[in-house]
Amino acid sequence: IKGVEKFHDTEYSVIPDQIEAGTFMMAAAATRGDVLIKNVIPKHLETISAKLSEIGAQIEESDDAVRVVATQRLCNTQIKTLPYPGFPTDMQPQMTTVLTLAQGTSLVTEGVCYVEELRRMGANIKMVEGNTAIIHGVEKYTGATVAAPDLRAGAALVIAGLAAEGYTTVTQIGYIKRGYERFDEKLRALGGLIEEVNSEKETNKFIYKTGTVN
């Protein structure tokens, strides 16, 4: 970067958030839903779309929208995060949540800090060689109380809660609210059973009950 004395005026349109869009794509896949995500740039989502298509989801693209349909249990794959246009690091937790419910054994390479939280919900994940997760797919998640360790892992736990049987409580949602605007409202609009609650002992929690994003 070579500095200049001043900037000149211009016009710029902020690009859509590919990670937020990808999160809703993963929510559709995990809950076997049918979701149309509007106001996106499909080219920016190509790697995410390709992986979802590879494991069995149906992907339909238009000029500024992507539709994800998952009508049956998905299959396994391998994930290794890379700089753009590779698979995004910030989509790894959400994809891991999907793969935990898929048939077969999947591999995810990169640090996974939320394994214990998914295990509380019934996930079968084994860490090897420090940063590789071996995921043996399970039929379903079971509701539990889990804590969001960071923004994207928190969103992944939300997805797991939507796909689980029973109630799931996700605490420490300050991380999630920092990166997703009106996340619970948007999920409710899709059919998810979710509400934000406060208690005397612990404030700012999301409580999830089994529901389908569709």
- pLDDT (tens digit per residue) in 92-119: 999 999 999 999 999 998 777 899 999 9
- Quote the tokens at residue 171: 């605490």
Condensed to tens digits (0 to 9), the pLDDT of residues 161-206 reads 999 999 999 999 999 999 999 999 999 999 999 999 876 555 567 7
Q: How far is residue 152's CA from residue 95's CA, in Å, rounded to a whole number?
A: 10
Residues 6 or more apart whose CB falls under 8 angstroms from that of 85 comprise 46, 47
Residues shown for the chain: 214
Is 190 exposed, middle or buried (CB count within 10 Å of its CB: 0-12, 13-18, 19+)?
Answer: buried
pLDDT at 202: 55
**DSSP code string of 186-208:** HHHHTT-EEEEE--SSS-SEEEE
Reduce the DSSP state of residue 92 to 3 states and report it.
helix
Question: Where do runs of H (alpha helix) occur along the chain?
Answer: 18-30, 46-54, 92-100, 115-120, 151-163, 174-179, 183-189
The H-or-E segment that residue 90 falls in is none
For tokens 């406060």, name the residue.
Answer: 198
CB 125 within 8 A of CB 150: no
pLDDT at 89: 94
For tokens 């940063």, name the residue.
Answer: 131
For residue 128, CA distances in Å to 76, 100, 110, 133, 193 come to 18, 16, 11, 6, 35
Condensed to tens digits (0 to 9), the pLDDT of residues 121-168 reads 999 999 987 789 999 999 999 999 999 999 999 999 999 999 999 999
pLDDT at 154: 96
Condensed to tens digits (0 to 9), the pLDDT of residues 4-33 reads 999 999 999 999 999 999 999 999 999 999
pLDDT at 203: 56
pLDDT at 213: 61
Query: What one-character DSSP code corresponds to residue 48?
Result: H
Condensed to tens digits (0 to 9), the pLDDT of residues 54-105 reads 999 999 999 999 999 999 999 999 999 999 889 999 999 999 999 999 999 9
Q: pTM of this prediction?
A: 0.91
For residue 33, CA distances in Å to 24, 75, 110, 187, 213 come to 10, 16, 28, 12, 5
